[in-house]
Amino acid sequence: MNMMTNKELGFADLLKNGQTLKQFRDGIIERTKATGYYNGQEKLEFRDSDPIGYEKLFSKLRGGLVHARETAKKIAASPIVEQEGELCFTLYNAVGDCVLTSTGIIIHVGTMGAAIKYMIENNWEANPGINPGDMFTNNDCSIGNVHPCDIATIVPIFWEGRLIGWVGGVTHVIDTGAVTPGSMSTGQVQRFGDGYMITCRKTGVNDTPLRDWLHESQRSVRTPKYWILDEKTRIAGCHMIRELVEEVIRADGIEAYEKFAYEVIEEGRRGLMNRIKAMTLPGKYRKVSFVDVPYKHEDVQVSSAFAKLDSIMHSPCEMTIKPDGKWRLDFEGASRWGWHTFNAHQVAFTSGIWVMMCQTLVPTQRINDGAYYATEFRLPKGTWCNPDDRRTGHAYAWHFLVSGWAALWRGLSQSYFSRGYLEEVNAGNANTSNWLQGGGINQDGEIHAVNSFEASSCGTGACAVKDGLNHAAAIWNPEGDMGDIEIWEMAEPLLYLGRNVKANSGGYGKYRGGCGFETLRMVWNAQDWTMFFMGNGFMNSDWGMMGGYPSATGYRFEAHKTGLEQRIAIGDSLPLGGDLDPTRPDYERHIDATAVVKRDKQCMTTEDCYDNHDLYLNYLRGGPGFGDPIDREPKAIENDLNQKFLLPEYAQKVYGAVFTQDAKGVFAVDVAKTAARRAEMRKERLARALPTREWMKEERERIINKHAAVQVQHMFATSFALSEKFTKEFKAFWSLPADWQLLETELNVPTYGSKHRMDLSLLPDVTTVVQVEE
Amino acid sequence: MSTYTNEQVAHLVEGSLDWETTFRMLSMPKDNSRFEQYLKALQAKVSFKDKIVLPLGPHLYIVQSAKTKRWVTQCDCGHVFGDYRENWKLHAAIYVRDTEEAMTEVYPKLMAPDTQWQVYREYYCPSCGTMHDVEAPTPWYPVIHDFEPDIEAFYKDWVGLPVPERAD
Ligand SMILES: [Zn+2]
């Protein structure tokens, strides 16, 4: 008959237990809350009764996930996926809690889980239905994705007609069809310019992508070839993992598999608490970080006047490690979200920290949602890391995520240091930029977009027993790789005129931060080409540690009307290699005197025009330093000088090194003279210093008189408006009069969003998933 | 679990431990006796008689004063920054790099923050001039009280050591 069956009316009974997915998930949440153990599992029956079987299952699944990632990535053509490894596959249980994940950008442990939970909470099982062979695609940042360029394919796993789990695969695509090209573009100031946005859409049935999806998605982005191969990569990986699960169940039985899929999460929860107890120290840690959002400059061309202001993102973090090994991360006082693309969803934050933690606190294969259950997060609603408005842009959430987490890393490093695990100390991370992005018509005559992932090899932070690594890593991808010049030159119409270690980019210290690197690119064989810069310039996002300095900030160099075509033709000198000392620029001596050069700290720009033979310097930042620089070994300074990691002027001024240079240019540091110079430096320091409390009186006067740049006052005003606690503590610290206040309206800058906002949860028929204290 | 000799831990503190052992420390489960060995190595290095309760930085410690049994924050050189519960930075000497000139003393042009956005606050020991910390906040930012360790819980419950005597 022409009537819907019970199934079509809404109750799919996917679990074959009479419960909806939501009812089943609610039960797990309740049991977890009531007992403190994930799903109420005080005892881990399978693991305890058959530890070998349990471990075998673990190894099979984890091995299969890693293998699927390695195999699937060969399908992709995008160098971001194929060279940089910006992909990841994750296995979930039926409620979307992560069981195990592959290597790669494992920030997505939680983001794809959030998408599954969104489908569960919004009754996707009734409409559009969840069936064997379905595929769902998601990149929606308002329900948990980090930024729109991370596209996730999610496939349900059924066994004998019953839903038993999910597998998700994510790749970082080169272009999302945003206002400007590149995967993390800057021109837009709202979600509506962030590009193609897909909300858990059913994009495939019977293991086949739907034609409307294929047609629509490919024409919605600038790089359809890369797009479609990325999709094939994700689908292939998901299907490999689904087969792996079927194989495991055939071998070990469905009962064992399902027990495993819940017990391993409780095991992960306990694992994190054990690691915290084994490595850290209970107490309170307070750290803070910032990053600059310089949008007032004329080279930031945005469509909305209300976004034209300089602002600062603020991320104070109080980390409490409790005696029982649980920890609480509280971001009270954070500044408000803004009209830019650097906002982050709460899940981007809570899920993202595991990509960092697997590099320090939990360097194991056992990363899953257990870690989330061992952590209390507090991200106040309305802040940049938990926006309360459905219009926010997220294309480059990383701009501040990496910095916001820096505070955690420094807190943990303090605990490692105090406990004597000096080998684990890491002063922090590089601000992983610059991002060279842009697009136009490439060397093959096709519409194209580029996003150089050289930023995946920045300098690392210094350790308490050794220097940071030069041009080695990025916090968001533990397996980062700078990529081969030859591959980038195929992917981008930009020739390399240099690729060098960036001198002085690592933060100074007894152990210095790793240096970043710089590549000089010349536009070649492109048409109607554009590029822009994205990174930190006016501020540093990470600090040094225990007397070490932060790393160097970014700056930009670009040159137009260079005359290089002619200079190459006549064999004249060319700008080659690094921009060794920006105090004494050299590139300008090898291009036409009439060239248009931009050399400044404006490291955030929008799409600008580039002709062939124009230049662009891609400078990838260094890491922060550890310990007082005048404790640095003279030999280490000598080595830095000879390798051009450090300019001689700063070896003297910062390190107190006294040295000579021989006829061949080789530096030799004089140990005795250096020691004598350092003794003088200690006296010079004290001669120029004030007792802290004396200085505080001066600073207090400046606050009373509201003497600070607008962006600084703006940052405080947005934090004050969101947090009474932060305001109180600020006023108490500076002993400010009770009636002292600072409002955005005083500052004569646009204040859109300061009073009137509307959250996604206020849309009809939408249930948002909240996974933090707000 | 790996264990290490006192000599190896002393080398770690000096930064002279061989890479093979350092790598083992990184890759193997942590040795719970490290803290005791660490204290021993540090105590042997310092010239003061006060007992180290918790190391805070390469030259900064919470110590139990030999004379008063009070717990205080103290520099290598013996300079006392006050009660261990207070923010030691408030008792330090400070130099703030808040001009371009002061910034370009330490970084090449364009490679330091713009002081209209961010300043560097260097905290020195008022006696010996050691730089114990560099803060990099915006102007106006309160001096940050970085760390308030729960020393009792750590000693008693985490590493199983007697809590040193404390006079308040
Ligand atoms: Zn001192």
Query: Per-residue DSSP letters for A717-760?
Result: HHHHHH-HHHHHHHHHHTT--TT----GGGS-S--TTSS----G
Low-confidence ranges of chain B (pLDDT < 70): 1
Which amino acid, one-letter code, is at A201?
A: R
- Phi first, then psi: what are they for A58, rounded to 5°? -55, -50
The predicted pLDDT at position A159 comes to 98
Among A6-20, A650-664, B110-124, where is mean pLDDT lowest? A6-20
Band (A6; pLDDT cuts 50, 70, 90) = low
Tell me how far the alpha carbon of residue A723 lies from the centroid of ligand 1, in angstroms: 38
Tell me how far the alpha carbon of residue B101 lies from the centroid of ligand 1, in angstroms: 27
Band (A365; pLDDT cuts 50, 70, 90) = confident
Strands (E), A582-726: 596-600, 608-610, 615-620, 659-661, 667-669, 690-691
The predicted pLDDT at position A460 comes to 95
Which has the higher per-residue pLDDT, A371 or A232? A232
Instruction: Decide if pLDDT at A359 tops 90.
Output: no
Residue with tokens 């770690």: B12
The predicted pLDDT at position A362 comes to 83
| Nearest residue of A to residue B42, measured between CA atoms | A420
Are B95 and A685 in contact (CB < 8 Å)? yes
Name the 3-class secondary structure at A671: helix
Q: Which of B35, B142, B143 sits opposite A420 (nearest CB)?
A: B35
B67–chain A nearest CA distance, Å: 24
Are B143 and A285 in contact (CB < 8 Å)? no
Mutate to test the interface with A, among B37, B101, B111, B146 (most CBs of A within 10 A): B111
Name the 3-class secondary structure at B82: strand
Helices of type H across A492-587:
564-570
Tell me how far the alpha carbon of residue A254 lies from the centroid of ligand 1, in angstroms: 65
A687–chain B nearest CA distance, Å: 10
Among A211-225, A310-324, A374-388, A480-494, where is mean pLDDT lowest? A480-494
| Nearest residue of A to residue B145, measured between CA atoms | A286
Are A547 and B139 in contact (CB < 8 Å)? no
Most confident of A47-51, A79-83, A360-364: A47-51
Q: Which two tokens stand for residue B30?
A: 């942590």
Average pLDDT over every residue of A119-125: 97
Residue A538 C-alpha from the chain's centroid: 19
What share of chain A in percent tops pLDDT 90? 86
Mutate to test the interface with A, among B6, B45, B77, B147 (most CBs of A within 10 A): B147
SS3 content of chain B, % helix, strand, coil (to 5): 30, 25, 50
CA dihedral B151, B157, B160, B161 (to 10 degrees): 30
Are B15 and A511 in contact (CB < 8 Å)? yes
How many whole angstroms separate alpha carbon A38 and alpha carbon B66?
A: 48
Residues of chain A with C-beta less than 8 angstroms from the C-beta of B113: 538-540, 553
Residues of chain B with C-beta less than 8 angstroms from the C-beta of A734: 140, 142
The predicted pLDDT at position A358 comes to 81
Average pLDDT over every residue of A135-144: 96
How many whole angstroms separate alpha carbon A238 and alpha carbon A89?
A: 7
CA distances to A97, A139, A172, B26, B75 from A86, rounded to whole Å, are 22, 15, 6, 26, 46
B19–chain A nearest CA distance, Å: 10
The predicted pLDDT at position A321 comes to 97
Average pLDDT over every residue of A745-765: 95
How many whole angstroms separate alpha carbon A151 and alpha carbon A115?
A: 11
Neighbours of ion ligand 1 (CB under 5 A): B 75, 77, 79, 125, 127-128
Q: Which of B30, B116, B136 sits opposite A709 (nearest CB)?
A: B116
Band (A78; pLDDT cuts 50, 70, 90) = confident
Are B117 and A654 in contact (CB < 8 Å)? no
Are A685 and B17 in contact (CB < 8 Å)? no
DSSP A439-474: EEE-TTSSEEEEE-GGGGSBPBPPPSSSPPPSS-BB
Q: Which of A277, A285, A711 sits opposite B158 (nearest CB)?
A: A277
| Nearest residue of A to residue B60, measured between CA atoms | A546
| Nearest residue of B to residue A688, measured between CA atoms | B95
Instruction: Decide if pLDDT at A535 tops 60.
Output: yes
- Residue pair A478/A355 in contact by the 8 Å Cβ criterion: yes
The predicted pLDDT at position A615 comes to 98
Region at A18 (left for phi over 0; alpha for psi -120 to 50; beta for the rest)? left
Burial of A728 (0-12, 13-18, 19+ CB in 10 A): exposed
Q: What is the mean pLDDT of chain A?
A: 94
| Largest Cα–Cα separation, chain A | 98
Interface of B with A in 101-140 (CB under 8 A): 104-114, 116-118, 120, 122-124, 126, 128-140
Instruction: Decide if pLDDT at A477 tops 90.
Output: no
CA-wise closest residue to A731 among A766, A694, A704: A704
Average pLDDT over every residue of A493-515: 98
Q: How many helices (H) and strands (E) does chain B have?
A: 5, 8
Query: Does B22 touch chain A if contact means CB atoms closer than 8 Å?
Result: yes
Band (A10; pLDDT cuts 50, 70, 90) = low
How many whole angstroms separate alpha carbon A668 and alpha carbon B75?
A: 32
Indicate whether this complex's ipTM tops 0.95. Answer: yes
Q: Which of B26, B124, B150 sits opposite A685 (nearest CB)?
A: B124
Among A5-19, A286-300, A335-349, A676-690, where is mean pLDDT lowest? A5-19
| Nearest residue of B to residue A285, measured between CA atoms | B147
- Residue pair A521/A568 in contact by the 8 Å Cβ criterion: no
Instruction: Decide if pLDDT at A106 tops 90.
Output: no
Instruction: Decide if pLDDT at A8 tops 70.
Output: no
Rg of chain A on CA atoms, in Å: 27
Q: Count CB neighbours of A191 within 10 A.
A: 23
Residue A32 C-alpha from the chain's centroid: 30
Average pLDDT over every residue of A391-419: 92
Helices of type H across A599-670:
634-642, 648-653
B108–chain A nearest CA distance, Å: 6
Interface of B with A in 55-84 (CB under 8 A): 55-60
- Residue pair A409/A360 in contact by the 8 Å Cβ criterion: yes
Tell me how far the alpha carbon of residue A676 lies from the centroid of ligand 1, in angstroms: 17
Q: Which of A287, A537, A600 sits opposite B146 (nearest CB)?
A: A287
Mutate to test the interface with B, among A279, A280, A288 (most CBs of B within 10 A): A288
Name residues whose C-beta falls within 8 Å of residue B23's C-beta, 6 or more positions apart in sequence. none
Over the stretch A79-100, which tens digit does the pLDDT of each residue have? Answer: 788 877 788 999 999 999 999 9
Query: Does B5 touch chain A if contact means CB atoms closer than 8 Å?
Result: no
Q: Which two tokens stand for residue A415?
A: 């605990």
Are A650 and B107 in contact (CB < 8 Å)? yes
Mutate to test the interface with B, among A275, A417, A419 (most CBs of B within 10 A): A419
Are B93 and A689 in contact (CB < 8 Å)? yes
- Phi first, then psi: what are they for B126, rounded to 5°? -65, -20
Instruction: Decide if pLDDT at A1 tops 60.
Output: no
Average pLDDT over every residue of A763-768: 95
What share of chain A in percent tops pLDDT 70? 99
